[in-house]
Amino acid sequence: MNPPEDSELLERFRAGDTTAFAQIVDRYERRVFAIAIRICRHHEDARDVTQDVFVTAMRSLGSFRGDAQLSTWLHRVAVNASLDLVRKRGRREGPGLEEVAEAPASEPGPESVAIESVRAREVHRALGRIAADQRAVIALHDLQGFDYAEVAEVLGVPMGTVKSRLHRARLALAQQLGHLKETEPSPDPGPLR
């Protein structure tokens, strides 16, 4: 049996079926948290944002008109709540997001795991040093895999704005990561002749 469509869950929720809302939360909680953690950079803040998104959803879904897909609306609420929290709290001190990148499919040796872990931490630190709206566009497009049109819909901006923000965000991120290029080992030139 296929899982119910979002529209069916919305109808059931509006009719008073609380399990339908629980299914919506189960379906989107991880994605909302992923967006929040990339923008807020702190687990506690991301958990707070995720909770706020679903409290807002519970209160607002009864009047949700469906002008956008439910997923797009939830992502927009997540981005806005994350950006609001970042603005409200300002730049926080502390380690921030220290997650490591997903493990590659093949079994790497201990040295390559350590290098990838260090690189992932550097990238996450660099993300924290760029503007929150730039983190948002990178989180949606580069990390969550949304296409330009989806990012534009979530952010409520024209597609051209998404492209220019993404370009500026990537430049800012590259500038933050410039020191890694200097420390990368140069490729093995092969045997000397």
Tens of pLDDT, residue by residue over 31-66, are 999 999 999 988 999 999 999 999 999 998 888 877
Write down the pTM of the prediction: 0.71
Provide the domain limits for residue 153.
129-193
Confirm whether 16 is domain-assigned: yes
Number of Cβ atoms within 10 Å of the Cβ of 117: 15
User: Do 157 and 75 lie in a common domain?
Assistant: no
Find the range with the poorest average confidence among 81-85, 141-145, 165-169.
141-145
Domain boundary among 32, 66, 93: 93
**Total domain count, the chain:** 2
Name the band, by pLDDT with cuts 50, 70 and 90, for residue 125. confident
Q: What is the per-residue pLDDT for 180?
A: 63
Find the range with the poorest average confidence among 31-40, 162-171, 183-192.
183-192
User: Do 63 and 141 lie in a common domain?
Assistant: no
- Provide the b/e sequence for 74-98 (b: ≥16 CB within 10 Å): bbbbbbbbbbebbeeeeeeeeebbe
**CATH number of the domain residue 167 falls in:** 1.10.10.10
